[in-house]
Structure 1
């Protein structure tokens, strides 16, 4: 098997050493590599993966967008899959300016050397690119962040890091002499600088992405532990979780029949309003039949509230059935949601380390 250095890998896929090195480092977790002593070496599989990443980049996607795609869907297998992905993504993103297209207009908005708030700059950029309200507020899949505002933030950090703008007060920016000089450079020099700034990553965003990755891995580990534990452990977990979430006092019922109740949460001291629980430590999906059986058990108890928790997931029919119920409310919690709730409410986890991120207090430096 032919092994190669990072420099050789960059050259093989058609990137310069410095450009390729940045992309390889950023996607290190997804590019196959071999550690040999103190060296990191790459093989043919590494070439295939990096070529795919390069093609995605050339389609107009940023590093962050490519990373999001790969993290959610994995590495595309072939050209047709790449084409389909870029087609789907670009249909949603192409009519919104890329970070590289925003950089110079951002500087032009504040080129009169006056100070401007970030909200003013955002509004001016919206006008420059003639974005509709839908384009301005459109968000990434599974995210509340506006695509356009996210890209402006990336640009703002890159310009600040490169000393082209200065934050003179909280969210108030002013162009620097270097920024004015950049506007006067020729097109080739501007383009080179834009390419360099595209590689600049906001450390806070990097930490956020890493934090989310750690949470996902922890959630997977939690579910694996539950599946390996005694089957009754899940019943104790769900009672403890709902108590921790503030729903009241709880207890395990000890019943074992499939249509029965595994636990009860008393929302008041007298037990006038109860939440009935059922837990299924399964690998297979939970269908409508099981949820319907749980609904029948609630009817037998005269209950109006139920929580059905599983380590696997619910079928579409099961979810739709629960949503259509009129006389009672059944909340379905799948394995992924269960693990996230356990993390949030410190059930089965402990604090490993805490990090505090601080920012400058502009008011401290203001003259009285």
Structure 2
């Protein structure tokens, strides 16, 4: 088939241009695409993939949940696999309520037109869905955010954006006349409105996701730069990093026969307690043998603390070996962690732009 634009791709799967564009951008790593000059074009395979993603979204899964599913299990091959996945999602009685299931109960909790705080609404919705403490507190992988509370937050933004609720003071909400009308509509009208609201996305959440993307790309660039720099540069980086983290004065050993010790950090002014460093600018994984050799170098120095940093990663055996050590402590820092720490402590990076997200000050408008 002929190559098509992002707008045509959205239309091909039944999404509006704006709605489709958001999903296409979010899953760009998984949707086949062709670069034609400055334009990105799509093909039949792109349509197939986006249709699968759309069906997953229609089951009630959020973008984050769909992405997690694809990362862990791969993209479903066909509509039958999608049906099996969504059947399991929707038929599991212990599952956490989906965003679309929360919208109307949210309005029912505050239908008496009284103002209610977000914490009160959260608790009432927990009771409404009869969630266990484990379900209520269950979080996304590698995140502290509760799945249930995150979904309530998404629903709250959609209801507010659609003028079904209003925020009358800080984190305090009240149903509007439009909200009362919605819960009295017939089932089909309510369903249509829920589907429209699912297209609404909190801009702050979008910014957070984009910030995470920028941070990941920056981390990749940092590691690439380190690998291209002179091998001694990594030694200077790790000393500068640990000093910036507050571990005391540091220095590069500057020796070729250093026994595997590349740098030393003095934890106190007199150097009574030192941390010894080793750096490996490698592409290959670091195995147990190298960590064990570093441990031996620490023994030769009479040291009890060491930090082993690499631009690659450590094998499972290497990590388990370091964790089992009793007489000393060796901290392993892989390339991904190194890059994140450099970003956090402003090593090798600078500020490109600052953005301030502001919210209304309700107290300013209160009468004295």
Normalised by the length of structure 1, the TM-score is 0.91
Tell me what 2:61 maps to: 61
1:266-312 CA deviation, whole Å, 9 max, x = no partner? 11111111000000011111111111111111111111110000000
Give matches, 1:105-254, under 5 Å: 105-254=105-254
The aligned length equals 364
SS of 1:299's partner is helix
Indicate how the Cα distance of structure 1 residues 288 and 5 shifts in structure 2: closer, same or farther if over 3 A, else same: closer
Question: Is residue 222–residue 339 contact of structure 2 (8 Å, CA) maintained in 1?
Answer: yes
Cα distance in 1, alignment partners of residues 73 and 221 from structure 2: 20
Offset of residue 259 of structure 1: 4.3
Question: Is residue 304–residue 327 contact of structure 2 (8 Å, CA) maintained in 1?
Answer: yes
Indicate how the Cα distance of structure 1 residues 295 and 34 shifts in structure 2: closer, same or farther if over 3 A, else same: closer
Cα distance in 2, alignment partners of residues 186 and 196 from structure 1: 16
Tell me what 1:23 maps to: 20
Kindly indicate whether residue 77 of structure 2 is the aligned counterpart of residue 78 of structure 1: yes
Offset of residue 39 of structure 1: 7.4
Tell me what 1:328 maps to: 328
Cα distance in 2, alignment partners of residues 354 and 92 from structure 1: 44
Cα distance in 1, alignment partners of residues 298 and 262 from structure 2: 12
Cα distance in 2, alignment partners of residues 88 and 8 from structure 1: 32
Tell me what 1:364 maps to: 364
SS of 2:231's partner is coil
1:205-259 CA deviation, whole Å, 9 max, x = no partner? 0000000000000000000010111111100000000000110000000233584
Question: Is residue 256–residue 262 contact of structure 1 (8 Å, CA) maintained in 2?
Answer: no
Offset of residue 81 of structure 1: 7.3
Cα distance in 1, alignment partners of residues 38 and 296 from structure 2: 63
Question: Is residue 49–residue 75 contact of structure 1 (8 Å, CA) maintained in 2?
Answer: no
Question: Is residue 24–residue 50 contact of structure 1 (8 Å, CA) maintained in 2?
Answer: no
Question: Is residue 89–residue 95 contact of structure 2 (8 Å, CA) maintained in 1?
Answer: no
SS of 1:330's partner is strand
Cα distance in 1, alignment partners of residues 285 and 264 from structure 2: 24
Offset of residue 322 of structure 1: 0.8
Give matches, 1:309-324, under 5 Å: 309-324=309-324
Question: Is residue 158–residue 201 contact of structure 1 (8 Å, CA) maintained in 2?
Answer: yes
Question: Is residue 249–residue 265 contact of structure 1 (8 Å, CA) maintained in 2?
Answer: yes
SS of 2:123's partner is helix
Give matches, 1:83-98, under 5 Å: 95-98=95-98
Cα distance in 1, alignment partners of residues 2 and 200 from structure 2: 32
Indicate how the Cα distance of structure 1 residues 191 and 243 shifts in structure 2: closer, same or farther if over 3 A, else same: same
Offset of residue 77 of structure 1: 6.2
SS of 2:104's partner is helix
Indicate how the Cα distance of structure 1 residues 5 and 286 shifts in structure 2: closer, same or farther if over 3 A, else same: closer
Cα distance in 2, alignment partners of residues 347 and 140 from structure 1: 30
- Which stretch of the first structure deviates more once superposed, 110-119 or 44-53? 44-53
Indicate how the Cα distance of structure 1 residues 145 and 229 shifts in structure 2: closer, same or farther if over 3 A, else same: same
Cα distance in 1, alignment partners of residues 188 and 139 from structure 2: 32
